[in-house]
Amino acid sequence: MEATIEVTGLRKRFGTALALDGMTFTVRPGSVTGFVGPNGAGKSTTMRVILGLDQVDEGTALIGGRPYRSLRTPLGQVGSLLDAAALQPGRTARNHLLWLAHSQGLGARRVDEVVAQAGLEAVVRRKAGGFSLGMRQRLGIAAALLGDPPVLLLDEPFNGLDPEGIVWIRGFLRALAAEGRAVLVSSHLMSELQDTAGQVVVVGRGRVLADTSVADLIAAASGGRVTLRTAERSAAMTALARAGATVAATAPDTVTVSGLAPERVVALLGASAVPFSEVSAHRATLEEAYMELTRDAVEFRAADASVGAGEGAR
């Protein structure tokens, strides 16, 4: 089966709330695709639609070219982690996995393999009800891997993980994608996807705001700006503004300059005898790029919440 997820023109209303408003993107194999957006942007709803758990008013969601409901052995084609809390608390982790495995014609050997992959050996005979959220996330990931699927969808898998767990999952997801899987990972924090995602689909208000590689997203947000560090900030700002630059003081000793190349900034400061300790091409962080893109979507949601826009219970 082709390892892809194709989402086209999804629209969905919950009462008066428009949860999905033309959501369209494709997830390809080989790198982790981050699915990022503020709370309420439509990430979970999109994942539920892809997995055939929610109906849409319009649009299609295909896994390897087919709707989820037409897949003959779903666990072998797509693995998912939607809600790590969704398990029988009285059952041991191993029995939980055995039960899932048997429902798909898989045996205990495969359970032991995914337990090892997810680093759960030490706790697998304990009752899952006593697991921390981080352990539940690992158990959910083990369950998603049972059928060795070419497509993986993980909703907020970083939730509840400690720093060591976050480092583990980053490497793990990268390795799964490098094996040729399509891996879609949602988060409302761009920083969690640093060093993990190669592609990002940024969403807000139920639609795609950007669908690009991480490198291109950062380059676009960097926008040819120059960062200048100087103890004589106002003299520097005056000299650069006189040469036509747009300048902004961003810290007591820092100025962000737009409209001039770094070499020109150095030459102008030299000519005006303004001392400086650093002139560098500004490189936006992933977080800055994300904040820039989603600012309006966040404002929309905050305003929406304050009038309590009649959304149904979740």
Ligand X SMILES: Nc1ncnc2c1ncn2[C@@H]1O[C@H](COP(=O)(O)OP(=O)(O)OP(=O)(O)O)[C@@H](O)[C@H]1O
Q: Which residues bind ligand X (CB under 6 A)?
A: 14, 17, 19, 37, 39-45, 188, 311-312, 314
Q: In angstroms, give the least distance from the CB of 19 to ligand X.
A: 3
Q: Count Cα atoms within 13 angstroms, Cβ side, for 154.
A: 31
Comparing CB distances to ligand X, the nearer of 122 and 313 is: 313
- Burial string for 41-67 (b: 16+ CB within 10 Å, else e) reads bbbbbbbbbbbbebebeebebbbbeee
Comparing CB distances to ligand X, the nearer of 82 and 266 is: 82
Comparing CB distances to ligand X, the nearer of 159 and 254 is: 159
Comparing CB distances to ligand X, the nearer of 37 and 79 is: 37
Identity at 81, one-letter amino acid code:
L
Cβ of 184: how many Cβ atoms within 10 Å? 26
Cβ of 87: how many Cβ atoms within 10 Å? 21
Q: In angstroms, give the least distance from the CB of 105 to ligand X.
A: 32
End-to-end CA distance of the chain: 34
Comparing CB distances to ligand X, the nearer of 17 and 219 is: 17
Comparing CB distances to ligand X, the nearer of 83 and 121 is: 83
Q: In angstroms, give the least distance from the CB of 20 to ligand X.
A: 8
**Largest Cα span, the chain:** 77
Q: In angstroms, give the least distance from the CB of 186 to ligand X.
A: 7
Comparing CB distances to ligand X, the nearer of 77 and 186 is: 186
How far is 18 from 266, CA to CA, in rounded Å?
51
Q: In angstroms, give the least distance from the CB of 203 to ligand X.
A: 7
- Burial string for 132-163 (b: 16+ CB within 10 Å, else e) reads eebbbbbbbbbbbbbbebbbbbbbbbbebbee
Q: In angstroms, give the least distance from the CB of 12 to ligand X.
A: 8
Could you say which DSSP state residue 231 is in? S
Planar angle of CA 298, 189, 27, nearest 5 degrees: 95
Q: In angstroms, give the least distance from the CB of 7 to ligand X.
A: 13
Q: In angstroms, give the least distance from the CB of 301 to ligand X.
A: 7
Q: Are 292 and 220 in contact (CB under 8 A)?
A: no
Comparing CB distances to ligand X, the nearer of 158 and 276 is: 158
How distant is the alpha carbon of residue 34 from its chain centre? 3
> Tokens 């029988």 label which residue?
88
Q: Are 87 and 100 in contact (CB under 8 A)?
A: no
